[in-house]
Chains A and B, each alone.
Chain A
Amino acid sequence: MTDLAADKLPPVTGPATAKVETPLRRLVAQFCESKLAVFGLVLVVVVAIAAILAPWLAPQNPYDIAKLDIFDSKMPPGSASSDGTLTYWLGTDGQARDMLSAMMYGLRVSLLVGAVSVVAALAIGTLVGLVAAFFGGRVDSFLMRCVDIQLSFPAILVALILLAVLGQGVDKVLYALIAVQWAYFARAARAAALVEREKEYIEAARCLALPQRRILWRHLLPNCLPPLIVIATVEVAHAIALEATLSFLGLGVPVTEPSLGKLIANGFEFLMAGKYWIALFPGLALAIALIGINLVGDHLRDILNPRNAR
């Protein structure tokens, strides 16, 4: 009965004004102060729309081999397809895929891999970090030693070795990315939880004799999340970049489901032959996505950093 009462208490609010300044509203206002960050957000939204709506927006389905005409391969930007139905605004690649369509589908793979791996790594890392901070002692030192060891290795090497062991495929890339990233979240979650653990509300929850599990999930976790979410935005960019790198090296996604990195790798072969568009356009798309996410993440970190609070 006691823990019911404790959780159902209305939140303590300041004196109500005409327009209540909620934390979210303040965040949005602060975010919009930086034009660069808003620009980044616009980039992210455009890229996300292009990726999500690719099956409806793309002029061609690049996975449907029946639709590809081999005579159309390596055509420069702006040329018309040989059957005259479609214009290749960004040219075609070595397999006669329309670059624009291939890029939109590639973006889908890249963003999906980035987002899924970060969410999974966030979940695993937060769990480990919270458990380490909450229980302390031997559990803590063991878990953090694992994190330290992992973080002392460059991410690319860990991912390369894992892929060498696991083999190719989108799911394998996901495992490798999760394995690379969880440690960052674990460390950040532990740091946040160590601070939060000492605060009064946790003490209050303990005094109410709430079960440990409840304190951990309902009190500690929600208060540790904001810094982790900021890290997660930047990590999505890292994950996308790492996946692109692995695919570029030939160890990532298979040829049948090319991500942006794979498309760039395909184009790299033709670069010296002057067929620049096969590598350049997916490269630009990748850059736009990464820069957008980083601009947003960078600014979010600035405004959520308590040291910069006004």
Chain B
Amino acid sequence: MLVFIIRRLMQAVVVMVVMSALVFGGIYLVGNPVAMLISDQASEADRLAVIRELGLDQPIWQQYLTFVGKALVGDFGKSFRAGEPAMRLIFQHMPATLELAVIAMTFAVLVGVPLGMYAGLRPDSLSARSIMTVSILGFSLPTFWVGLMLIMLFAVALPEWIPGWPRLPSSGRGPTVDILGLKLSFLTAQGWLHLLLPALTLALAKGALIIRLTRAATREVLPMDYVKFARAKGLSERRIVGVHVLKNIAIPIATVTGLELGQVIAFAVVTETIFSWPGMGKLLIDSILLLDRPVVVAYLVVIVFFLVLLNLLVDILYSVLDPRVRLEATAR
């Protein structure tokens, strides 16, 4: 177990170094951030001063080494645009993204598991078939498209067509409440309203995935001996489905939910841009468009760390939930 964890962490470090070098070098080649930061009227002396201050006058490899040296002690440089430490910017924007992602994933599980189980228990019924067809829509349509349509429907069309229909907010986060220094919006009514559309957008695709997964798992579990045995014992259908089936399909669902959380956070980039949700995703897009190198690199390091951690946790969770799985065997 310990060997497995150490191996995974080492792999994560290698990935982080490679990715940061790629991005660092790549963004350096693409464009000159100075051109975007300084107005055209600035004097040559001002330009040079800014360049020196940002350390952009040194050769690229030296800039990278300086960066790595500082990164090791947690200093990822200052954002070219905001002038604040890049890491602090990321951490300021992180709670908004995590809140959105967790709530979206909760929606997806709460809706996806029951629907998927229903479709698995009655695979030939009309409603099961329609659930499955709709779920194809759910994950074939891109996130931004879903968000756009939700805005069109709930923030533009419905309030216009039906007088008195509440216009759902489609941008920003609404009022937040401070809890342990974290700003969270799901504790106020206005905050919920602001959360609703972006969370729904993210939840739709993941919900569709969970429906399909739950259905497949249910269909796989149903012909098993222990389900037959439970039936033979005369247990109620409710108990069989609620305990015997649900417990056994919980393992793949928990695994996928965990892994998909990473996907949700990545796709929050899109959702946050559409809904102007002030999370790290929007920060990343803005920083890419402005060639704000320190923030992009810092985001990348954080997200790689996060994804690796998530994968690791899911693997460990998997072995706890299912004692048949031995981590050493899969570690290779």
Contact = CB atoms under 8 A, between A and B. Distances in A.
A161 B293 CA distance: 11
Contacts of A293: 140
Interface stretch (A5-13, A96-104, A115-123, A264-272): A264-272
B148 A279 contact: yes
Contact of A156 (B31, B148, B267): B267
A33 B10 CA distance: 51
B70 to A, nearest CB: 21
Interface in A267-293: 268, 271-272, 274, 276, 279-280, 283, 286-287, 290-291, 293
B179 interface: no
B193 interface: no
Interface string B92-133: 000000000000000000000000000000000000000001
A192 B136 CA distance: 26
Given A154-B307, A161-B23, A287-B145, 16 more contacts: A153-B304, A156-B266, A156-B269, A156-B270, A160-B288, A164-B26, A164-B296, A165-B22, A165-B27, A167-B30, A245-B144, A248-B144, A272-B155, A276-B156, A287-B141, A291-B136
Contact of A245 (B142, B152, B157, B303): B142
B285 A249 contact: yes
Contacts of B284: 160
Contacts of A130: none
A251 B270 contact: no
Contact of B269 (A160, A163, A295): A160
B66 to A, nearest CB: 20
A251 B29 CA distance: 16
B257 interface: no
Nearest to B140: A294
24 contacts: A154-B263, A154-B266, A154-B307, A160-B269, A160-B285, A161-B22, A161-B300, A165-B23, A165-B27, A166-B26, A241-B140, A242-B142, A245-B142, A245-B143, A248-B144, A251-B288, A251-B289, A271-B148, A272-B155, A272-B156, A274-B160, A291-B136, A291-B141, A298-B136
Contacts of A149: 11, 15
B311 interface: yes
Interface in B1-36: 11, 15, 19, 22-23, 26-27, 29-31
Interface in B300-317: 300, 303-304, 307-308, 311
A248 B145 CA distance: 9
Interface in B266-297: 266-267, 269-270, 273-274, 284-285, 288-289, 296
Nearest to B143: A245
A39 to B, nearest CB: 11
Interface of A: 36, 141, 149, 152-154, 156-157, 160-161, 163-167, 237, 241-242, 244-245, 248-251, 261, 264, 268, 271-272, 274, 276, 279-280, 283, 286-287, 290-291, 293-295, 298
Contact of B307 (A153, A242, A244): A153
B126 to A, nearest CB: 14
Interface residues of B, number: 47
Contacts of A154: 262-263, 266-267, 307
Contacts of A298: 136
B149 interface: yes
Nearest to B129: A36
Contacts of B262: 154
Contact of B145 (A152, A237, A250, A286): A286
Contact of B29 (A161, A165, A250): A165
